[in-house]
Amino acid sequence: AACSSQTTAGDWQAVGTSAELDKTGQILAKNSPVGPVLVVGTSKNVNLTAVNPTCSHAGCTVAWQAEAKKFACPCHGSEFGVDGKVQRGPATTPLKTYAAKIEGDSVVVKP
């Protein structure tokens, strides 16, 4: 029988706590079980935004711009929407997105 505690692809994975998320409105988990994840929002949001913050251009880490509601790359100026789609180059492919939600005190994501 399969080990029930083993995590498999497609499982929800904790990347931080809801308290951490509420403090700054984002959590950057560089070594989460699903790889680098940037979660944006607060525990009050029904829909949290989560992406792999690794820029699809040359691999810098994008930053969330709360007022403009987009992700911006500090290296060459690429910009991505909350849906990960490219809004401005030089990047041409979208950021990978994750499903994200609050579960108890944890922020969890799923590829």
| Residue of 76, 77, 85, 89 marked active site | 76
Q: How far is the CB of 89 from ligand FES (least distance, A)?
A: 8
Q: How far is the CB of 80 from ligand FES (least distance, A)?
A: 9
DSSP symbols for 7-70 = --TTS-EEEEEHHHHHHHSEEEEEEETTEEEEEES-TT-SS-EEE--B-TTT-PBPEEETTTTE
Please select the residue that binds ligand FES; options are 15, 40, 78, 100, rule is CB under 6 A.
78
Residue 52 sits in the site that holds ligand FES (CB under 6 A): no
User: Based on CB atoms, which residue is closest to ligand FES, 38 or 91?
Assistant: 91
User: Based on CB atoms, which residue is closest to ligand FES, 14 or 72?
Assistant: 72
Sheet with 79-80: list strands edge to edge: 63-65, 70-72, 79-80, 86-88
Span from 11-19, 37-45, 70-78, 101-109 in contact with ligand FES (CB under 6 A):
70-78
Q: What angle do CA 78, 48, 81 make, to 5 degrees?
A: 20
Q: 96: which DSSP letter?
A: P
Span from 1-9, 39-47, 75-83, 95-103 in contact with ligand FES (CB under 6 A):
75-83
